[in-house]
Chain A
Amino acid sequence: GENVEQHPSTLSVQEGDSAVIKCTYSDSASNYFPWYKQELGKGPQLIIDIRSNVGEKKDQRIAVTLNKTAKHFSLHITETQPEDSAVYFCAASFSGAGSYQLTFGKGTKLSVIP
């Protein structure tokens, strides 16, 4: 089955700096890569996703890049703000052939220091 590794497990940045979180996946058939943000006491919230036919996607201060050859994908947050502090999860799945389960990484706790 799919295995997703996520690094780092914790990340502290100064307000206004950039944050980068990296993930690798094992199953070359995976074709969908979402990122979720989870705040304390809440469920994961989808913040951005990318499909395997796209190399990069951007939405305001967040961007995701995908390297299918290396089986890497990364989340980039620019101009970080205190409200970006949360746990971020990457995930991978193969959407097709009736299987739709997401495999998540272990998460990165991001702290933005004012």
Chain B
Amino acid sequence: DTGVSQDPRHKITKRGQNVTFRCDPISEHNRLYWYRQTLGQGPEFLTYFQNEAQLEKSRLLSDRFSAERPKGSFSTLEIQRTEQGDSAMYLCASSLLVGYEKLFFGSGTQLSVL
């Protein structure tokens, strides 16, 4: 079963450093989403792609955040000049472009900014 894969699972960084996360969606899925989840909260939408096009971004996604999906397959999420408030679980999900959105999530990347 090739589910949604995220790498790394854990990342510890110092404030001010840049970090990049990777997501590999389910192979036939053409939509890819990034969500952020902090302790005790539900996931919050950050952005989504349909194929390689980034179609929607949340106001939560500051200028320090950038996401790409260069060939419509895997995606990367980069955070520049990390801040302690960026500490969270970053979740990737994918879905098929068919009617209602059944999102399938990966296990996430846990980011800790010291």
Contact = CB atoms under 8 A, between A and B. Distances in A.
Q: Report if A and B associate in a common complex.
A: yes
Interface in B76-99: 91, 93, 95, 99
A49 B100 contact: yes
A4 to B, nearest CB: 8
Nearest to B55: A98
Contacts of A41: 107
A49 B102 CA distance: 8
Interface in B6-29: none
B74 interface: no
Contact of B106 (A43, A89, A93, A98): A43
A76 to B, nearest CB: 20
Q: Which of A36, A99, A100 has the most CB of B within 10 A?
A: A100
A89 B103 contact: no
A98 B103 CA distance: 16
Given A100-B48, A101-B48, A46 B43 contact: no
10 contacts: A31-B100, A32-B101, A41-B107, A43-B107, A46-B103, A100-B56, A101-B56, A102-B101, A107-B40, A107-B42
Interface of B: 4, 31, 33, 40-45, 48, 55-56, 58, 91, 93, 95, 99-108
